[in-house]
Amino acid sequence: MADFIAWVLVIAIAAYACAGGTDYGAGLWDLLAGGAERGKRPRRLIDHAMAPVWEANNVWLIFVLVIMWTGFPTMFQAVFSAMWLPLALAAAGLVLRGAGFALRKPTRRLAQRRIYGAMFAVSSLVTPFFLGAVLGGIASGRVKVGTTASAHAWANGTSVLTGLLAIAATAFLGAVFLFSDARRFGAHDLVDYFRLRALIAFGAVVVLALIGLPVTHDDARYVWDGLTGGWGLLLIILAAVCGLATVLLVLRRSYGWSRYTSVASVALVVGAWGFAQRPYLLPTSLTVAEAAGAAHTLRWLVIVTGIAIVLVGPALVLLYRLDTLGELEELTAADTGAARTPGDNL
């Protein structure tokens, strides 16, 4: 039972990495889109593509937290005690990012839009970095039950590298999705724009992964071994195949499938990490079985999860489907009967 919940946790993390990751990546490209004039069209596209789905994507994170504290309370306590600062900063980033994004949309003044946009874009960089750093710290065995908060837990090679890798992976996902969104919304000039960026981001992922091999070899030995042998290795290879397939598909301008392969590559890496950590939740100090909460609760967690999959699954499919079919569009000023006010300059 505890193993099952642990896998649910891994899957939820993978889902957040893919769904939330795409949005973070979009934020990164928003940041790098250049000045107000030059970046106007990519920003429009990002706004338009992200708006209907980002809140739903964010809920995966809540779900991850809930499974952690309900299923594995000791682990939750240990992680949040040891990783206090990066998690606090990630939370701050989440607030600024969501607020920036949500407030930018209805704003019509350039100066204000700039501020909100900057909030959104910068925190899209900060949040995945710190979340990645936390995962890196856990993977390298720096979190144990009773570890108190210290910079050592997250300011180290493995953590920093994982954080950067998280940023690169989100950038990759974001670019691949925006690449096909650009075509979907008829912004044909942006197709090549994001195509190029998808390739660059993939390059960054590969470079970081290669740097990571020696850096983590001694530092995160247990996970390193897990990733270079057995199931972990298999999934990593599959992830690499998917990643390369994405590159080929993007190069050949295949709009639909490239999304799936890019998502698969990220999800497989998370899955590989799950295999590599087995049987530990916190490598080499706390196993899944030791950390598990009360059996009765776990059983109920499975039931609740099951019911929810039945309820939420179809809704989520409907949302993504309506979104990709272009059925979801924002209300315009004309729809709500809104006028311009003095000072509007957009």
Contact between 17 and other proteins per CB under 8 A: no
Residues 6+ apart with CB under 8 A from 229: none
103 or 211, CB closer to other proteins?
Answer: 103
**Closest to 263 measured CA to CA, from 235, 234, 242, 240:** 242
Burial-class residue 243 by CB neighbours within 10 Å (0-12, 13-18, 19+): buried
Mask for 300-319, x = binds ligand HEM (CB under 6 A): --------------------
Contact between 334 and other proteins per CB under 8 A: yes
Integer CA distances (angstroms), 257 to 42, 254, 263, 317, 325, in order = 22, 6, 10, 17, 15
Residue 276 contact, options ligand HEM, other proteins, none, Cβ 5-8 Å cut-off depending on partner type:
none
Contact between 62 and ligand HEM per CB under 6 A: yes
Footprint of other proteins on residues 147-206 (CB under 8 A)? 148-149, 180, 183-187
- The interaxial angle of helices 255-277 and 110-139, nearest 10 deg, is 40
Tokens of 267: 């999800």
Footprint of other proteins on residues 96-115 (CB under 8 A)? 96-99, 101-103, 105-108
Mask for 6-45, x = binds ligand HEM (CB under 6 A): ----------------------------------------
Please identify which residue in 36, 44, 240, 290 interacts with other proteins, judged by CB under 8 A: 44
Contact between 144 and other proteins per CB under 8 A: no
How many residues appear in the chain?
346
Please identify which residue in 36, 51, 52, 58 interacts with ligand HEM, judged by CB under 6 A: 58
Torsion of CA 182, 16, 239, 200, to 10 degrees: 40
- Tell me which residues touch ligand HEM (CB under 6 A): 55, 58-59, 62
